[in-house]
A and B are shown apart, each in its own frame.
Chain A
């Protein structure tokens, strides 16, 4: 019996090892094969003007309405070139890309996602720089900040489409008087107009989510992760910011995404700190919405709140860049164009990456888009180095420990700084 089991295990082991090695060779053989035939035909047929129809698959994990607009607009523009793009929603996109990023048969050709994971995928070697597909001149109309956000180790990996930052969104029917200009006045207003027992709030925020506390952290001169990859959780300025945020958190309900959005959408909270992704829900709820840039709030230290900017853009998988170079180039050029940018701004309040799009009169009149662009001029993009992926967990644990469990800030900061350092060391 033991012999049989042993034999079985051996066979399986051999199978598995053979599987892996074969896997490597197969994939490296398979891809160029596809490449050869496709590009070859494309190049041959260029002269003949008889282009073969190409279908491109783009994965995303965003708002279906926004993606729908991009898809329709792209397909409209590229109809003559016989290029069709399909946007497919993938929950947990980053995990899926890790698996399918080398799978030419099943994986996507491109994906549209926030810029902060660019470093990770570039380092994994599954992305092709967009400059392999299109020339630098196609990027000339794009806001430099948005291009910079998708640049990792001096290579441009992401074509920015639109960007978002946190805004101060308020319910005009509930907010009393003017929205203040300093955070201290805002705090006073919150103290006077919040009744936690009754469940009515002045301002709600995801106060224990790193992205939503970043306006404070950056405003105080602290940082979550430096450009060199050093975590800054127990940095004095970061701690000061977390401490300052704590008194706001006490008046902001639980701080969970579902909780705060529902409170705002149901008129139980007069204002919310959130991004454009909340807009479609707010519209459905029929709220009389007003905006204010977070950069217009002054902190006690004289500086302004400084939210992160998140740039949503398209990255190209390596295998697709080889196989479908021309078609992808067309798609990227259209995405970078001002028409698509203006349409996005008009239909879904996105702030386009294309500067020229703002010249459109209707866009220029869109309060929300303009507010976001203003904020973005001072906002710094999130870091995009791979280390960021392991920073969210310790940062948010720290915030929750301080805001929700009442732990001592200094102790907790040291503890989670250590966790962050370990996590970064574990990556290597």
Chain B
């Protein structure tokens, strides 16, 4: 018994050690960026290997937050991310449900077709979307970008959630059906709570995609005040930040932080959604 316990404890220490190493390895570039961002000028660049600059300063962060319209971009990024999440999830949950629960002619074909469509390099779509949006008057508007992002992530959403819906046994639904619930009601009351992890994972994926996208964001938005964070920083890296590496690093870290915070908080829900025991085969 004690021997077993000791072995277990050693096992966990090793596992913890492995994960600490792994996290450190993965974080090296970021720690390096962090040390750059805390240094004044480009000092850390040429000195030896160190993760702590000699005179740490928050000037770079202060400069970004106060001098550049950082907060406006942050707000835009939130609008775009949330808008995209709502629209993309709103349309793909129903579609995923339909593809998972109904057997109808053309089902397999459409699913495959969607996958193939997703394989088309999006960068090639830019010109066509530009022409279309110009006609629709959606250029230089957040709604336009939200539609592009939602459309781009929609296929991913459908496939990802369909995969999860498939693992939810039909018996659970059958029981509610007998109670007289309609399909949509069923979806909202029974399937969605059960599929919480999939829904959260998919939403976060969409959020991160929007958060980090810069090409459409800078092409379809025209004024500095309407850029998203990634787009705004992309505009800047050719100018101010291109000159100052430490500013660029500080900006990079600032962009990543909101995503990390969100990620840290949703983890709890992911786990509880998964372990509540709704999923039994």
Interface residues of A (CB under 8 A from B): 1-2, 4-5, 16, 19-20, 22-23, 26, 61, 63-64, 88-92, 95-96, 99-100, 103, 105-106, 199, 257-258, 261-263, 265-266, 268, 280-281, 284-285
B70 within 8 A of A: no
Determine the distance from Cα of A350 to Cα of B244 in the docked complex, in whole angstroms. Answer: 22
Known: A19-B132, A91-B234. A280 touches B243 (CB 8 A): yes
Residue positions of B touching A, CB distance < 8 A:
41-43, 45-46, 104-107, 109-110, 113, 127-128, 130-132, 134-135, 139-140, 218-219, 222-224, 234-235, 237-240, 242-245
Contact B238 A91 (CB under 8 A): yes
Residue contact B45 to A266, C-beta cutoff 8 Å: yes
Q: Tell me the bound Cα distance from A258 to B247 in angstroms.
A: 13
Instruction: Determine the distance from Cα of A4 to Cα of B219 in the docked complex, in whole angstroms.
Output: 34
A92 to B235, CA, bound (A): 9
CB contacts (< 8 Å) of B244 on chain A: these are: 281
Q: Are B222 and A106 in contact (CB under 8 A)?
A: yes
| B47 nearest in chain A by CB position | A266
B106 with A20: CB separation less than 8 A: no
CB nearest neighbor in B for A263? B46
A366 to chain B, nearest CB (A): 22
* A23-B135, A199-B46, A266-B42 known; A1-B242 Cβ under 8 A: no
The answer on a CB contact under 8 Å between A99 and B219 is yes
The docked-state distance in angstroms from the alpha carbon of A206 to that of B50 is: 28
| Chain B min CB distance to A23 (Å) | 6
Nearest-CB distance from A41 to chain B (Å)?
25
- B223 contacts A64, CB within 8 Å? no
CA distance A199 to B42 in the complex (A): 15
- A88–B224 touching, CB < 8 Å: yes
Chain A-chain B contacts (Cβ-Cβ < 8 Å), number: 78
In the bound complex, residues from chain B placing their C-beta under 8 Å from that of A262 are 42, 45-46, 245
Assess the A1–B239 pair: CB atoms within 8 A: no
Contact assessment for B239 and A26 in the assembled complex, using a CB-CB cutoff below 8 Å: no
27 contacts between A and B (CB under 8 A): A1-B106, A1-B109, A4-B106, A16-B132, A22-B135, A64-B240, A88-B222, A88-B223, A89-B224, A89-B235, A90-B235, A91-B218, A92-B218, A95-B219, A99-B127, A106-B140, A258-B242, A262-B42, A262-B46, A262-B245, A265-B42, A266-B41, A266-B42, A281-B243, A281-B244, A284-B41, A285-B41
- Assuming the A-B contacts A106-B222, A258-B242, are A26 and B113 also in contact, with contact meaning beta carbons closer than 8 angstroms in the complex? no
Q: In the complex, what distance in Å separates the CA atom of A280 from the CA atom of B127?
A: 36
Are B139 and A106 in contact, with the CB atoms below 8 A?
Answer: yes
- How far does the alpha carbon of A258 sit from the alpha carbon of B104 in the complex, in Å? 58
CA distance A67 to B131 in the complex (A): 30
Which residue on chain A has the smallest CB distance to residue B242?
A: A258
Q: Is A63 in contact with B239, judged by CB distance below 8 angstroms?
A: yes
Closest to A96 in B: B219
Interfacial chain B residues near A263, Cβ < 8 Å: 46
Closest A residue to B137 by beta carbon equals: A105
Closest to B139 in A: A106
Cβ of A92: which chain B residues have Cβ within 8 Å of it? 218
Return the chain B residue nearest A259 by Cβ: B45
Query: A63 CA to B109 CA in the complex, in Å?
Result: 53
Residue of chain A at shortest CB distance from B113: A5
Residues of A within 8 A of B235 (CB): 89-91
B contact residues around A90 at 8 Å (CB): 235
Q: Report the bound CA distance from A91 to B234 in whole Å.
A: 8
Find out whether the CB atom of B239 lies under 8 angstroms from the CB atom of A64.
yes
Main secondary structure of the interface of A (DSSP, over half): helix
**Complex contacts, B131 vs chain A, CB 8 Å:** 19-20, 23
Given A106-B222, A280-B243, residue A5 in contact with residue B110 (CB < 8 A): yes
Chain B residues within an 8 Å CB radius of A1: 104-107, 109-110
Determine the distance from Cα of A67 to Cα of B104 in the docked complex, in whole angstroms.
Answer: 61
Tell me how far the C-beta of A34 lies from the nearest C-beta in chain B, rounded to whole angstroms. Answer: 15
Q: Give the Cβ gap from A139 to chain B, nearest Cβ, in Å.
A: 30
- The 7 A-B residue pairs with the shortest CB-CB distance, nearest first, are A1-B106, A281-B243, A1-B105, A91-B238, A91-B235, A106-B139, A99-B130
Closest A residue to B136 by CB, please name it: A19
With A88-B224, A261-B243, A281-B243 known as contacts, the answer to whether A266 contacts B46 (CB < 8 A) is yes
A5–B106 contact, CB under 8 A? Answer: yes
Set of chain A residues within 8 Å of B218, measured between Cβ atoms: 91-92
- The answer to whether B106 touches A19, judged by C-beta atoms less than 8 angstroms apart, is no
B239 engages A89 (CB within 8 Å): yes
Q: Which residue of A lies closest to B224 (CB)?
A: A88
- The listed residue (A23, A257, A261, A285) touching B134 by CB distance below 8 A is A23
Complexed CA–CA distance, A280 and B113 (Å): 53
Name the A residues within 8 Å of B41 (CB-CB).
Answer: 266, 284-285
Tell me the minimal C-beta distance from A2 to chain B in angstroms.
7
Q: How far is the CA of A1 from the CA of B109 in the complex (A)?
A: 9
A1–B102 CA distance with the chains assembled, in angstroms? 14
Q: Is the CB of A2 within 8 A of B109?
A: yes
User: How near does chain A come to B277, taking the closest CB pair, in angstroms?
Assistant: 38
Instruction: With A4-B106, A23-B131 given, name 8 new contacts (CB 8 A).
Output: A5-B109, A26-B135, A96-B219, A106-B134, A257-B242, A258-B242, A262-B42, A262-B245
Chain A residues positioned under 8 Å from B107 (CB to CB): 1
CB A300 to nearest CB in B, in angstroms, measures: 34
Q: CA–CA, A103 to B131, complex, Å?
A: 10
* Distance of A263 Cα from B238 Cα, bound (Å): 18
Chain B residues with Cβ below 8 Å from A2 are 106, 109
Residues of chain A contacted by B243 (CB below 8 angstroms)? 261, 280-281, 284
Cα(A208)–Cα(B218), bound, Å: 29
Give min CB distance, A313 to chain B, whole Å.
Answer: 20
Chain B residues contacting A23 (CB-CB under 8 Å) are: 131, 134-135
- Which residues on the B side are within 8 Å of A20 (C-beta)? 131
Q: In the complex, which residues of chain B have a beta carbon less than 8 angstroms from the beta carbon of A19?
A: 131-132, 135
Q: What is the minimal beta-carbon distance from A376 to any residue of chain B, in angstroms? A: 25
Residue of A nearest to B41 (CB): A285
Chain A residues within 8 Å of B139, by CB: 103, 105-106
Which of A26, A262, A268 neighbours the largest number of chain B CB atoms within 10 Å of its CB? Answer: A262
Q: Is the CB of A61 within 8 A of B238?
A: yes
Chain A: CB-nearest residue to B239: A64
Looking at B43, B219, B237, the one whose CB has the most chain A CB atoms below 10 A away is B219
Complex-state Cα separation, A61 to B109, whole angstroms: 47
Residues of A close to B105: CB separation below 8 A = 1
- Inter-chain CA distance A96–B231, complex, in Å, is 14
On chain A, the residues within 8 Å of B109 by CB distance are 1-2, 5
